[in-house]
Amino acid sequence: NAGVMQNPRHLVRRRGQEARLRCSPMKGHSHVYWYRQLPEEGLKFMVYLQKENIIDESGMPKERFSAEFPKEGPSILRIQQVVRGDSAAYFCASSPSAIFSYNEQFFGPGTRLTVL
Amino acid sequence: GESVGLHLPTLSVQEGDNSIINCAYSNSASDYFIWYKQESGKGPQFIIDIRSNMDKRQGQRVTVLLNKTVKHLSLQIAATQPGDSAVYFCAELWGEGAQKLVFGQGTRLTINP
């Protein structure tokens, strides 16, 4: 059973370009979370999605950032018109359906975005 | 506000010794806590969790202690090994059904041979 998969693992963009980060959750998992990590800091929650629904986007910047988790295919975190401050590691996590109150979130290896 | 903080950013211990990593949290309503291990270039890896109705939980070589009175969490690693070198984060999950993890800054643990 493959774990959470993210691609690309490394992404370099110039200022003003778009960045698309992909996340395939673990098999059987229908909940996806995106986190951002700056160097030497903890992860910061960005958004929580279920299939075709955004449940909590309280950590998403108001502009340039969007996320989706379509019925088919991976979850996508999209950053438009990137700036140098967007350089960070972006982690995706997934969990199974919320049958119980707390579900362990399994993390992917991350995408390291560098904006030149 | 949201904050989960750590007392020490770095910790060095001798191989074979026990290590203790501390964490302070601010939300007295938090009812679920998790410790994660993150190795260089990798995503966080679940180590152990604890519910607020417990004050201690043990795993393999790891123990988590929760002191709700002073809002303090600790991770004890017994007989440390070189493979334990990593950054350790505590995280809290707010409220039943909430799925938002709030992470602390992290403690870098270095195991000296």
Establish if B106 touches chain A: CB-CB under 8 angstroms. Answer: yes
* Strand B107-112 with A106-107, pairing: unpaired
A34 pLDDT above the threshold of 60: yes
Half-sphere exposure of B37 (CA within 13 A, CB side): 14
Average pLDDT over residues A57-71: 95
B96 pLDDT above the threshold of 90: no
* A-proximal residues of B, 39-78, CB under 8 Å: 41-46, 49, 51
Establish if A69 touches chain B: CB-CB under 8 angstroms. Answer: no
Establish if B93 touches chain A: CB-CB under 8 angstroms. Answer: yes
Half-sphere exposure of B50 (CA within 13 A, CB side): 21
SS3 A66: strand
A54 pLDDT above the threshold of 50: yes
In which residue are the tokens 């299939």 written?
A: A51
Among chain A residues, the shortest Cα distance to B93 is held by A102
B27 pLDDT above the threshold of 70: yes
- Which two structure tokens, joined as six digits, stand for A52? 């075709």
Reported confidence tier of residue B6, pLDDT bands at 50, 70, 90 = very low
